[in-house]
Structure 1
Amino acid sequence: MNNTRKEFIVFLTILLISVNATSQVMKSSVTDSVILVEKKKKKKKSKKVRLPKIDLSHWKVTLPVLNDFGKPYEISPPEIKDFASNAIAKPYMYIDSTKGAIVFHALPTDSKTNNTKYSRSELREQMVPGDNNTNWTFEQGARMKGKLAMEEVTKDADGKYHRVIIMQIHGRLTNEQKELIGAKDNNAPPILKIYWDKGKIRVKTKVLKNKFVNNTAILLDEAWDDDEGYNFPTEVGFRKFTLEIKVEKGKMVVILNNSEYAVYEGVDINRWNVFENYFKAGNYFQSRDKDSHAKVKFYELEVSH
C-alpha cells in the first residue's frame, strides 16, 4: 500500500469519527432542547393557585344587586362558603387565585341598605352564623385584623379618586332598646368608619353632642356627631397594607401596618358601651357618579373576642 492510499484511509477514518461525534452532539442538543421545553410546560401547568386566608363561617355579605323582593342581595352562612360558585355573586365578590385574595367590587346601583344612598359589597360579622341578634360590647372586647389593597377605583369630575369605606364597627340596638325609643329598626350609629381616601387611610368616629345626655336619649342617632377625622401619615396608595382594630371598655385603637396608631379614649368611648356592635369589612363605595366603581382585595381577615 503506497503512502497516498494510506493517507486517504486515515483521512476517511478521521472524517467518519468527526461526523459521528457531530451527530451525537446534535442528538444531545436536540434532546436537551426537548427536555427544556418539557420542563417549561410542566412549570406552566404547575402554576401555584393561591387562596385567601379568610374564614367566612361567621360573616354574611351584602352585594350591590337586588334580590327577588327588591332588597339588597345577601348571602349568609353556611351558603357564603360557596360564594365562588354563586352566579349572582361572581361579578361583585370573587377569588383572585393569582394573588390569593377575595375581591369586593362595588358600583352605584339601586341596591341600598337603610339610611344610606350608597351601594356595597361588604361583609357583616355574625357571631352566631345566620343570626344578627348576637353581638358584642366594648366591655366584652373585640379585635379585627386584615391585609388588603385597593385594586382599582375611579375618579370624580375633579380628577380625585372616589372614597371607599373598607372597615367599620357598627352599633346596634337591642330589641328592648329599639322598643324603648320607638326606632323603626335595630340600627345604631357606626362608632368607627375607616376610609381609603385618595390613597390614604382616614379614620372617622362618633362624639357626643352633649356629654351628660341620659341613658335613653343617648340611644338616638341625633345624640351623636362625627368627629373631625384623622389621616394616617403613610400613603398606602394601591399597595398592600394591614389594618387592625382593637377595642375594650373605654378604648379603641386603630393600627396601620403594625406601626402607626390612632387611639380613642374618653367620655364618648366610655359611654359607647351602651350599644352592641359588629364588625364590617369590604367595599362600601362612597359615590353615585355614573360609571364609577371600586375593587378592594382582602388577602387576610380575622376576628377574635
Structure 2
Amino acid sequence: MKIFRKEILVFVIALFLSANVTSQSKSSVAESDVKIEKQEKRKKKKKRNKKVKLPKIDLSHWKVTLPVTKENGKPFEISPPEILDFAKNEKARPYMYIDSTKGAIVFHAMPTASKTSNTKYTRSELREQMVAGDNNTNWTFKQGGKLSAKIAMDEVTRDKNGKYHKVIILQIHGRLTNEQRDLIGQKDNNAPPILKVYWQNGKIRVKTKVLKYKGVSDEAILHKEAWGDDKGRTFEQEVGFRKFNIEVDVSDGKMVVSLNKNEFFVYDSFSIKKWGVFENYFKAGNYFQTRDEGAYAKVKFYDLEVTH
C-alpha cells in the first residue's frame, strides 16, 4: 500500500513538473512572438520614415545640354518647361537623373560623338536662362549675380598616370549681343568664359580670363583672341568625394568665389573691370575634360540657386 502511494506521489510530482515546463515553454514562445512582432513593427516604421529625398533645385530657368546627339548631329538639349519633367525623359535618364536616396541630381558625362561648338569635350550641363526658354536675355557684371551650390563628386575615372580626370562643375560664360556680334563679323554670339571652376584631384581650382594687352580698343576687346587664361588658383581645403558648398558673387568690376564660406578668392583686376562689356550666364553640372576611351564622371548637385 505504501509503495502504491509512493508511486502516486511520484506521478503527481512528474505531472506537475511537466505542466510547469510546458507553461514555461509556451511563455517562451509567446515572448519570442512578441519580440518578432516588435522587430517587424520597427522595420515598418523605418521604411515609413525613410522618405524619398528630392534635390532643392528649381529648374524653371535652366536648360540642359546632354552628351547624346539629335538626328541633326547636334547635342540633345531640354529647355523649360520640358526640363521640369526630365526624370521621365528617356533621352535624359542616363545622363541627368535623380538620386532619391541622397536628394541630388546626378550629371553623368563621358566622351561621345556629341559635343558643342567651340569645344572638343562633352557635357551634361545646365545653362541659365533668365527668361525661360530664351538664350537672348542675359546679365552684365553691373547688374550682378550670385550663384550658390552644394555639390559632391560621385564617381570619376583616372588617366594613364593615375590622376583623376578633370571636371568643370561651374562656369560664367560670356556672350556677345547681336550688335557686338555683327560689329566684329562673328557667326555666333559666343564669347569666352570669364570663370571656370574645376574639380581636380579632389580639390577645387578656379580659372579666369585676362586681357593680353591693356591698351586694347573697345572693338578689339570683343574678340576671343584679346583674352588669355590666368595661372589659376586652387583652394587649400581638399573636398575629395565629400559634399562642399561653393558661392560665386559678381558685382560691377568684381567677382568673389568662396569654398565652404571659409576660403575666398577675390577678383577685381583691370581685366575683370573691362569684362563688363559682355553679357553673361551661369552654367552648372558636368563638363568633362577628357576624350580618353572608357572615361566618365558623375557629379551630384544637392542645391543650386541663382539670384540677380
- TM-score, normalising length: structure 2: 0.94
2:90 aligned residue? 87
What's the offset of the Cα at 1:8?
5.3
Instruction: Determine whether 1:61 maps to 2:64.
Output: yes
* Alpha-carbon separation, structure 1, partners of 2:207 and 2:184: 26
Q: What residue in structure 2 maps to residue 171 of structure 1?
A: 174
1:224 is aligned to 2:230:
no
Tell me the distance in 1 between the aligned counterparts of 2:154 and 2:20: 64
The letter of the residue matching 1:53 is K
Which residue in the other structure is 1:240 paired with? Answer: 243
Structure 1 residue matching 2:84: 3-state secondary structure: helix
Structure 2 CA distance for aligned equivalents of residues 228 and 25 of structure 1: 74
Name the CA distance, whole Å, in 1 between partners of 2:18 and 2:111: 80
Amino acid in the other structure paired with 2:251: E
In the alignment, which residue of structure 1 is the partner of 2:151? 148
Post-superposition Cα deviations, 1:195-252, rounded to whole Å, max 9, x if no partner, equal 1111111100011111121211111101111111101111111111111000000110
Out of 197-206 and 2-11, give the one that drifted further: 2-11
Please list every run of 5 or more consecutive structure 2 residues that lacks an aligned counterpart in the other structure.
none
**What amino acid sits opposite 1:233 in the alignment?**
E
| Match of residue 36 from structure 1 | 39
What is the CA deviation profile of residues 108-127 of structure 1, one whole-angstrom value per residue up to 9, with x for unaligned ones? 11111111000000000000
What CA distance in whole angstroms lies between the structure 1 residues aligned with 2:251 and 2:9?
102
The whole-number CA distance in structure 1 between the counterparts of 2:278 and 2:32 is: 75
1:55 deviation in Å?
0.5
Q: Which amino acid counterpart does residue 162 of structure 2 have in structure 1?
A: G
The aligned counterpart of 1:24 is 27
Q: Which residue of 2 aligns with 1:212?
A: 215
Which segments of 5 or more consecutive residues in structure 1 lack a partner in the other structure?
none
Are 1:189 and 2:192 matched, yes or no?
yes
Residue matched to 1:122: 125
Superposition pairs for residues 94-113 of structure 1, below 5 Å? 94-113=97-116
The superposition leaves residues 85-123 of structure 1 with CA deviations (integer Å, 9 ceiling, x where unpaired) of 100111100111111111101111111111100000000
Deviation at 1:13, TM superposition (A): 4.1
Q: Deviations over 1:36-90 (max 9, x none)?
A: 1343255346532111111000000000000121111000000001000100111
Aligned partner of 1:273 among 276, 286, 292: 276
Residue 170 (structure 1) shift? 0.2
Structure 2 match to 1:288: 291
Q: Work out the CA distance in 1 between the residues paired with 2:170 and 2:126.
A: 9
Instruction: Give the residue type in structure 1 aligned to 2:138.
Output: N
Task: Please give the secondary structure, in 2, of the residue aligned with 1:39.
Answer: helix
C-alpha distance in structure 1 between counterparts of 2:299 and 2:135, whole Å: 25
- Alignment match, 1:304: 307
- Pick which of 291-300 and 23-32 moved more: 23-32
The Cα shift of 1:9 comes to 4.0
* Secondary structure, aligned partner of 1:179: helix
How far did 1:163 drift? 0.6
Alpha-carbon distance, 1:134 to partner: 0.4
* Pairs aligned (count): 305
Q: Shift of the alpha carbon at 1:29?
A: 1.8
Query: Residues 8 and 240 (structure 1 numbering): CA distance in 2 closer, same or farther, change over 3 Å?
Result: same
Distance (Å, rounded) in 2 between the aligned partners of 1:13 and 1:295 = 71
1:150-192: CA deviation from partner (whole Å, max 9, x where unpaired)? 1111111111111110000000001111111111100011000
Distance 2:13 2:269 in 1: 103
Q: CA RMSD in A?
A: 1.7
Q: Which amino acid aligns with 1:89?
A: A
1:135 aligns with 2:138: yes
